[in-house]
Homo-oligomer: A and B are copies of this chain.
Amino acid sequence: MNDEIRVDPSLTPFFNPQGIALIGASADPNKLGYALARNLVQSNYPGALHFVNPKGGTLLGRKVYTNILEVPEPVDLAILLVPAPAIPGLLRDCGRRGISAAIIGAGGFRETGEEGAALEEECLAIARKYYIRLLGPNCIGIMDTHLPLDATFLPPPPPRPGDVAFISHSGAIMAAVVDWARGQDLGLSHLISLGNQADICETDVLAPLALDVHTQVLTLYLEGVRDGRRFVHEATKVSRVKPIVALKVGRFASGQRAVASHTGALAGRESAFSAAFWRAGVIRAETSEEMFDWARALAWSPLPKGRSIAILTSAGGPGVTAADALEINGMQLADLKPETVAQLKQILPSAASFYNPVDMLATATPEQYAACLQAMLLDEGVHGALVIIPPLPMQTAGAVAKALIPVIYISDKPVAVTLMGDRLIQEAIEHFRAARIPEYRFPERAASALAILAQRADFLSRPAGEPQPLADIDHEQVKRLLQPYLEGAIALGNAIPLPAEVLNQILEAYGVPTLAIRMAKTSEEAVQLAEQVGFPVALKVASSAITHKSDIGGVLLDLPDGESVAHGFDVILQNARQAHPEAGVQGVYVQRMTRPGQEVIIGATQDEQFGALVMFGSGGVEVEALQDVAFALAPITDHEIEHLLQTTWAGRKLGGYRNLPPADRQAVVDVLKRVAQLAADFPQLAEVEINPLRVFEAGKGAVVVDARAQIKTG
């Protein structure tokens, strides 16, 4: 798998520079140019280091060159820490000097408005001309604690070397995380501050970190992604090799868009990110603490083979809390085997609890902790353990840690430790960290870390692979059918809805079964058409301007005869005119009623960043209220379809529920796959929505009862 991950060689100077020139090095301790020079020197960077400042002189015992052109070899990375307006000229100098990589620390670019954006464009053009790769502008820089290299202007000391890389869109967050990591004694491998991403973006740095020997886990602070599909493609490959944990902010920043369907209303940017992360195996954290809690567990622990966890404690209260937290996180308490229970009975006093959670009582000794944990980890029904060390009246936490570490070390099952307290547990914390065993202050944190390990194991157990394109579709036919409406949309300069009968033909061309539908202009015609398709029939208003037809009395169901059809035709026209006097009504659709079955919604939409998305869930008119929907990227994989069906009640219900017989699940899978393919093949289809898809009993198929679609302009 590793051979698929390719690092762009032009990025090498950022990860393994031969020589660095700091342009804007300063002797004034109040300037960032001094802070960065100091960090470069103090970090013991093993390559060549050059300072540049037009004033010349010396700095930190080194010569300061007045110009980048004077700097001797080797130098492949320039750090530009000068005011924004000076950057273009200096970049040109770097280009002439043959430097192929630059970090622009200064702000004053795109983030300040139009003028700054123009300056940023200018810098990018110069960089392209001279084949210079750019990090920034408006960034804090990079750090590699193992090389070592500190090319940031953050206050010392740097975080200690570790195995977690941190990539951030926000410089402030990075500065805060570094300071916080110091306080937590959290080791980091790489820090990359991306700034405005004029050139290098979050996706570019995934591969180099995936191949970095010191990095075990990648953590990302994301405010968005530059190119959604490219991110998914790269992250999917990297996730197979190393876990990626991301904190994505800007959840509510998607704003309001005009939408013409339930799918459109529900498909915020967050649905797209969730779908993209799911496919790519990116683990999504909700807070920074969670991100680093999980990163430690992922970096240090073996993965569990299942979700059954054993809890070992010496106090009842925290054991109960841990059991609660495991359940909330989708894990379960392991049933200990009789042999294991028998072993525990030999180790512990009779008043102890021998069933999971195992409570050794407050008299627990380090030896009992170790012996019990060993017995529990050897139980085949146990996939991992959560060990709780509350303050013990007669023992130190440090002694318990020392006894436990060898047991945890030789096991191939993950163990998360809860060390409760603060001052009394410092020695124990040090022991566990040195042994690379994740420990947490609260049982809830340890439980959530174990759940993330299980999630990671699930991801790795899914075979890799792209969705397979469908063969039995008529792409050309859809192209032909769409052509006039595309032209119409372009002419109008606006999105337009597709007529129902055209959409039906499009769906049929992609192998999605629909009910024959015909449009009647007069009530006589409606009766004739009804006689042709066979009673009972449904009537629906045909108007591109009326989005939610049933809301305005534009739909009549189950009409048994000609008389009711003739009357219904008039009623629908009257209702439509009353509700939307301004709307053009083309006529009334006549459709045969179909037999009963379960009903689901299947929709598709186009996300700005991630392209085609498909939605599945509970249909009807209460879609937005029930929120029983889930999204996936389109085209869709079999595993994604399973995920959609398992995470929605509409999907689970297909297997039958109480007096509801099982429905044709396979037919739903098939329609989902076809609609996803359609949305992926035709990005012009801004929204497609089947609501409902009627699903008959197992083996009897499914049929589109109602659908709508919207064509995008341009």
Interface residues of A (CB under 8 A from B): 30, 32, 107, 111-113, 116, 153-155, 168-173, 175-176, 178-184, 221, 223, 249-253, 286-289, 314-318, 320-321, 323-324, 327-328, 351, 361-362, 390-391, 393-394, 420-425, 441-442, 444, 548, 550-553, 621-622, 625-626, 649, 652-653, 657-660
Contacts and interface: CB of A to CB of B under 8 A. Distances in A.
Contacts of A318: 170, 172-173, 176
A315 B171 contact: yes
Contact of A327 (B221, B251, B315, B553): B251
Given A320-B249, A422-B180, A658-B551, A173 B625 contact: no
Nearest to A179: B421
Contacts of A30: 394
Contacts of A441: 180, 289
Contact of A324 (B250, B361, B420): B250
Contacts of A113: 351
A107 B363 CA distance: 11
B421 A317 contact: no
9 contacts: A171-B315, A173-B318, A178-B421, A179-B425, A180-B421, A223-B320, A551-B659, A621-B660, A622-B657
B320 A552 contact: no
Contacts of A182: 422-423
Contacts of A327: 251-252
Nearest to A175: B391
A112 B353 CA distance: 10
A548 B658 contact: yes
A551 B657 CA distance: 9
Given A251-B324, A552-B659, A622-B649, 9 more contacts: A168-B317, A172-B420, A175-B391, A175-B421, A178-B421, A182-B423, A249-B324, A252-B324, A621-B658
B184 A422 contact: yes
Contacts of A317: 168-173, 221, 223, 249
Contacts of A323: 252-253
A119 B169 CA distance: 64
A434 B107 CA distance: 36
Nearest to A327: B252
Contacts of A394: 30
Nearest to A286: B444
A420 B180 contact: yes
Contacts of A168: 317
Contacts of A550: 659
A423 B170 CA distance: 20
Copies of this protein, total: 2
Nearest to A316: B170
Contact of A253 (B116, B154, B320, B391): B320
Contact of A420 (B179, B390, B393): B179
**Considering the complex of A and B, which 7 residue pairs feature the smallest CB-CB distances, nearest first?**
A183-B422, A170-B317, A172-B315, A179-B421, A176-B420, A172-B390, A175-B391
Contacts of A659: 548, 550-553, 621
Contacts of A653: 622, 625
Nearest to A425: B179
Nearest to A422: B183
A649 B252 CA distance: 22
A173 B621 contact: no
Contacts of A175: 390-391, 420-421
A424 B221 contact: no
A442 to B, nearest CB: 6
A529 B113 CA distance: 80
A671 to B, nearest CB: 22
Contacts of A223: 316-317, 320
Contact of A423 (B179, B324, B390, B660): B179
A422 B320 CA distance: 31
A251 B626 CA distance: 26
Nearest to A653: B625
Contacts of A315: 170-173
A442 B321 contact: no
Contacts of A314: 172
A112 B348 CA distance: 13
A288 B321 CA distance: 10
A637 to B, nearest CB: 27
> Which of A112, A176, A249, A328 has most B Cβ within 10 Å?
A176
Contacts of A116: 351
Contact of A112 (B170, B351, B652): B351
B393 A32 contact: yes
Contacts of A289: 441-442
Contacts of A425: 179
A354 to B, nearest CB: 13
A315 B320 CA distance: 41
A548 B168 CA distance: 56
A155 B424 contact: yes
A287 B293 CA distance: 16
A390 to B, nearest CB: 4
Given A112-B351, A548-B658, A658-B551, A176 B252 contact: no
Contact of A288 (B32, B181, B183, B442): B442
A530 to B, nearest CB: 23
Given A221-B317, A625-B649, A107 B423 contact: no
A362 B551 contact: no
A32 B392 CA distance: 12
Contacts of A155: 391, 424
Contacts of A420: 172-173, 175-176, 179-180
A24 to B, nearest CB: 14
